[in-house]
Structure 1
Amino acid sequence: MSLVGVIFSVVVSVAILLVLIIVLKLNTFISLIITSVIAGLFLNIPMEEIMGSIENGIGSTLGHIALIFGLGAMLGKLLSDGGGASRIAETLISKFGERYTQWAIIIASFIIGIALFLEVGLVLLIPLVFTIAKKLNVSQLKIGIPMMAALSVTHGFLPPHPGPTVIAKELHANIGEVLMYGIIIAIPVAVISGPLFLKVAEKIVPSAFRKEGDISELGTQKQFSESEMPSFGLSVLTALLPVLLMLLSTVLQLITGHEDGKGINYLENFVYFIGTAGTAMMISVMFAIFSMGLWRGKRIEKTMASVTNSIYPIGMMLLIIGGGGAFKQILIDGGVGDTIKESFTNTSMSPLLFAWIIAAVLRIALGSATVAGISTTAIILPIVQNSDTNVALAVLAIGAGSLIFSHVNDAAFWMFKEYFGLTIKETFLTWSLLETVLSVSGIIFILFISLFL
């Protein structure tokens, strides 16, 4: 199929997906499957092969992500229910003092955001944001924007979050490398889109900073007494343990040159084993069961209840990720990536910038950062394979693009709007602009680092 035909098929398919979700209000997973079938027909995939392609896409995507995503949800819930997340936030805020509260909340949110998914981190931290704002007699957004910047950057750049994890798997990237480069990039990006962007936002939309938010729908939040919370050190170790294990393995691979994960002795192979994403997450969950539960005197039944309850909210998200994988596989089997690769060979554009642009366009169209990222892999994979592009940076470029300009077809847009009591216009000029700053600054840092790799 010609490039024009491929682009037309993809554009029409995305338009149909938008109509199904926004206009007809169909469930996102169902909409993705319907769209995948239609896209398969547009791309001339034989009808008898379309459903097999969809099943293959769901299976190959969830086969890897389900383990890490499920264990990540368990780790986050154990940290939350065990009081570890509250301890991290309260200790940092206390140590930094009132003058540097914004920096305290961004560091706390960054640490907590590694272990907790964005929506969970938002629900957990926003009562604390409101409490601090009231105590300091400042706008809730002055504390909320740095928090959201840190949560969003971990969501888009760092495993074990679903987006970067799935993208890394689809591009055959080393998750440890993605994590290492992701942290290097995420820290300055969080600062730019948090405290620094805050100063600009106050001038652009001052009315938003006079609004009072409402979190009554969250109900009564559990308040931990001093004795109920674990120590700060133990809480941070629990949150960062999977990161430390994966980074240890990656650094050793870089030192030894054994980037295929095959060492020359038992000790080296053991480090690689505990540093794989699945093993690191499993070890971290087992550690959290003790650090946030049993060592705190909790009964095993209560601790296991946290583990069980962590899975219920992510069931539909797993299906949506699977649906995104189905759409991705249809694009691959329909030859979209190969056709674009052939056209791309005639251009001088950086594959990293191209990946960011495709992800950004799909993010604006689809709303979901995760689905946009997964769909982009089908288009960018052949280009990455046929160039000297650093694959880990390609993962991050897609992640950065998938965060751009959150708007009305993104659940986080409405959560931010309602919790902070903003109008739609004010939400565009705060949350949507924040995400755009984050995305653009992200690709700038990625392109800069690519000059040295």
Structure 2
Amino acid sequence: MTSDILTIVYTAVAILGVVILITRFRLNPAVALVVGALFLGLVIGLGPEKTISTITEGFGSIMAEVGLLIAFGVLLGSMLSEMQAIQRLVSHLLRLFGPKGLPYALGLTIGTVLQSIFLDVLLVISAPLARKMAPLIGRFGTARIATAMAISLECGIVLMVPGVAALALAGVLGVPLGMMLLFGFIVVVPTIVISIFIMSWLFRLGFWKPEKDETPVGEDDATDAIDATDASPSSSPAPSPTRALSTEDRRSSVGGVPRGVAVAQRTQARTEPRLVILFAPLLLCLALIATGAILQIAEIEIPVLQLVTNPVFALLLAVLGTSLVGRLTIGQPRVEKAVVAGFRESGQILILTGVGGSLAATVAATGLGDILGQAFGAGGFAPLLVVWGIAAILHVAVGSVTISAITAAGILAPIAPIIGLDPILIALAAGAGSLFAVHVTSNTFWLLQSLLGQTTRGTLKTCTVGVSVASVVALGMTLILSIFL
């Protein structure tokens, strides 16, 4: 039997090899993860047959756990995107909370309710309107709105159901989805609020230099970016709140809302359904999943409630409900178009999640969990700090939030039952670590720069520093939570 030291060394080499294959040789992450799992299984002594079976079983296990959930979540988000629900929501938030409260309101909404929408799509359809609102917030409007979006987008995808990385983490660690939703919500809300507050304070202290950190972006450019996403032959003729504003409109506002946006809102109110109707199926889904978690904690078993609060059933209801709303509002052809786009997007996510489970299963088969379990004591902070650190290092190297979170969680997942550590804590710590240092290897970084009128220097502040602050805050929230679990 391979010694404990060699087991740790081989695992480290396998993970490092995956990083090098992705970053240096530009190998597809899914293929690199399988190669890493194959290498680890063979050198650790599992043998060819056992190694292959472990990889395939790990893939199948996590797909059985979260495959349908991820597919349904992406379909749901794709349909909401096609219905232009996000543009309307952002303008509604501005009207409801006012310019000063917009960064917090927008951040909390994106980080919690809107996580079924694919991250890049959510950013592209919400950024142009958010940028129009930035001047109303004050001198640091661009900085604050960009920071709020960066933090909420990244935090939501790894900490909040149905974010794809959150679903994957729950699958790798065997965390009930309802528990992931409840405790993820407990962590993500204060993380977003505290992080935005800290960054706003830093901006006021001189951290943000508008003349060096901002770059003017024409209104038409911003409009083109969103039109390229939403345009279709059958698009509704109703005016969009993201249309370029005239010079006179930009100089005036109605109740804190730019006049052009206010006019669009009034027009939409006459031609489109209420916003709550568009989001009702998604909100009902989240409520059902949360109810299921509460019933599980209370050990209440009622067959009918167990069915309707099951995450798969709840998300299926959301997909069917959103599809019905879409058929009544934008028509069947556009709903079908959204479904096709959703399936196209979900394929890569599903494969990546599955092979992440393959590597995690191979790591578990090496006995690394027993080795690490002897090094950590139950209830201590050390395992959580280690999983946060591994995820952070992987993210800096690879640039993928999902890959780093899944890999870090998979490495330490085997120690959870040995030391009595609740797997939900490992999931949250891995998610928090994977947020650290979002930088130039991330397409989100460049989308934030181009769509929100920032220089690269400015984006390093709002995105890289801002999300890193959120990573540390989320770790702190997780450590506090560990005292009670």
The normalised TM-score by structure 1 is 0.88
What is the DSSP-based 3-state SS (H/G/I as helix, E as strand, rest coil) of the residue aligned with 1:196? helix
Measured at CA, do residues 38 and 416 of structure 1 come closer, stay the same or move farther in structure 2, by a change above 3 Å?
farther
2:209 is the counterpart of 1:206: yes
Measured at CA, do residues 442 and 9 of structure 1 come closer, stay the same or move farther in structure 2, by a change above 3 Å?
same
Measured at CA, do residues 50 and 237 of structure 1 come closer, stay the same or move farther in structure 2, by a change above 3 Å?
same
Q: Which residue of 2 aligns with 1:390?
A: 422
After superposition, the C-alpha distances for 1:343-381 in whole angstroms (9 at most, x for unaligned) are 335995443333323333333333222222222233222
Q: Which moved more, 1:425-434 or 1:207-216?
A: 207-216
**Displacement of 1:5:** 1.8
Measured at CA, do residues 441 and 321 of structure 1 come closer, stay the same or move farther in structure 2, by a change above 3 Å?
same
User: 2:469 is matched with which residue: 421, 437, 450?
Assistant: 437
After superposition, the C-alpha distances for 1:54-77 in whole angstroms (9 at most, x for unaligned) are 222222222322211111011111
Q: Which residue of 2 aligns with 1:58?
A: 59
2:136 is the counterpart of 1:148: no
Q: Find the aligned partners of 1:111 and 1:348 in 2 and give their Cα distance.
A: 29
Measured at CA, do residues 157 and 7 of structure 1 come closer, stay the same or move farther in structure 2, by a change above 3 Å?
same
What is the DSSP-based 3-state SS (H/G/I as helix, E as strand, rest coil) of the residue aligned with 2:419? coil
Q: Which residue of 1 aligns with 2:260?
A: none
Tell me which amino acid in the other structure corresponds to 1:312. R
User: 2:275 is matched with which residue: 223, 232, 239?
Assistant: 232
Measured at CA, do residues 347 and 185 of structure 1 come closer, stay the same or move farther in structure 2, by a change above 3 Å?
closer
Q: Which residue of 2 aligns with 1:251?
A: 294
Q: Which moved more, 1:166-175 or 1:435-444?
A: 166-175
1:1-400 map, 5 Å:
1-133=2-134, 139-201=141-203, 203-206=206-209, 209-212=213-216, 220=228, 222=230, 224=240, 226=268, 227-255=270-298, 257-258=299-300, 263=301, 268-291=302-325, 293-296=326-329, 298-345=330-377, 349-400=381-432
**Displacement of 1:444:** 0.9
Measured at CA, do residues 13 and 341 of structure 1 come closer, stay the same or move farther in structure 2, by a change above 3 Å?
same
Q: Find the aligned partners of 1:4 and 1:417 in 2 and give their Cα distance.
A: 44
**Displacement of 1:42:** 3.0
Measured at CA, do residues 57 and 269 of structure 1 come closer, stay the same or move farther in structure 2, by a change above 3 Å?
same
Q: Contact conserved, 2:376 with 2:382, CA < 8 A, in 1?
A: no
User: 1:410 is matched with which residue: 442, 454, 467?
Assistant: 442
**Deviation >6 Å, runs of 4+:** none
Q: Contact conserved, 2:81 with 2:121, CA < 8 A, in 1?
A: no
Q: Contact conserved, 1:400 with 1:442, CA < 8 A, in 2?
A: yes
Tell me which amino acid in the other structure corresponds to 1:4. I
Q: Which residue of 1 aligns with 2:250?
A: none
**Displacement of 1:189:** 0.5
Measured at CA, do residues 86 and 422 of structure 1 come closer, stay the same or move farther in structure 2, by a change above 3 Å?
closer
User: Mind listing any 5+ residue stretches in structure 2 that lack a counterpart?
Assistant: 231-238, 241-266
What is the DSSP-based 3-state SS (H/G/I as helix, E as strand, rest coil) of the residue aligned with 2:45? coil
**Displacement of 1:394:** 2.8
**Displacement of 1:187:** 0.9
Measured at CA, do residues 338 and 162 of structure 1 come closer, stay the same or move farther in structure 2, by a change above 3 Å?
farther
What is the DSSP-based 3-state SS (H/G/I as helix, E as strand, rest coil) of the residue aligned with 1:113? coil
Q: Find the aligned partners of 1:347 and 1:184 in 2 and give their Cα distance.
A: 20
**Displacement of 1:228:** 4.9
After superposition, the C-alpha distances for 1:90-130 in whole angstroms (9 at most, x for unaligned) are 11111222333323322442355333132221112111122
Q: Contact conserved, 1:28 with 1:320, CA < 8 A, in 2?
A: yes
After superposition, the C-alpha distances for 1:30-58 in whole angstroms (9 at most, x for unaligned) are 22222222222332321333222222222
Q: Find the aligned partners of 2:321 and 2:169 in 1 and give their Cα distance.
A: 27
Measured at CA, do residues 450 and 431 of structure 1 come closer, stay the same or move farther in structure 2, by a change above 3 Å?
same
Tell me which amino acid in the other structure corresponds to 2:408. T
**Displacement of 1:231:** 0.8
What is the DSSP-based 3-state SS (H/G/I as helix, E as strand, rest coil) of the residue aligned with 2:26? coil
Q: Which moved more, 1:442-451 or 1:380-389?
A: 380-389
Q: Which moved more, 1:232-241 or 1:421-430?
A: 421-430
| RMSD value, Cα | 2.7
Tell me which amino acid in the other structure corresponds to 1:282. L
After superposition, the C-alpha distances for 1:132-158 in whole angstroms (9 at most, x for unaligned) are 235667553332211222222211111
**Displacement of 1:205:** 4.3
Q: Find the aligned partners of 1:2 and 1:425 in 2 and give their Cα distance.
A: 47
**Displacement of 1:245:** 0.9
Measured at CA, do residues 377 and 102 of structure 1 come closer, stay the same or move farther in structure 2, by a change above 3 Å?
closer
Tell me which amino acid in the other structure corresponds to 2:53. G
Q: Find the aligned partners of 1:24 and 1:410 in 2 and give their Cα distance.
A: 17
Q: Find the aligned partners of 2:353 and 2:225 in 1 and give their Cα distance.
A: 27
Q: Contact conserved, 2:143 with 2:462, CA < 8 A, in 1?
A: no
Tell me which amino acid in the other structure corresponds to 1:181. F
Measured at CA, do residues 91 and 421 of structure 1 come closer, stay the same or move farther in structure 2, by a change above 3 Å?
closer
Q: Which moved more, 1:137-146 or 1:367-376?
A: 137-146
Percentage of pairs with the same residue = 24
Q: Find the aligned partners of 1:418 and 1:2 in 2 and give their Cα distance.
A: 51
**Displacement of 1:29:** 1.8
Tell me which amino acid in the other structure corresponds to 1:163. A
Q: Find the aligned partners of 2:394 and 2:388 in 1 and give their Cα distance.
A: 10
Q: Contact conserved, 1:43 with 1:334, CA < 8 A, in 2?
A: yes
Q: Contact conserved, 1:82 with 1:229, CA < 8 A, in 2?
A: no
The normalised TM-score by structure 2 is 0.83
Q: Which moved more, 1:157-166 or 1:109-118?
A: 109-118
What is the DSSP-based 3-state SS (H/G/I as helix, E as strand, rest coil) of the residue aligned with 1:159? coil
Q: Contact conserved, 2:23 with 2:398, CA < 8 A, in 1?
A: no
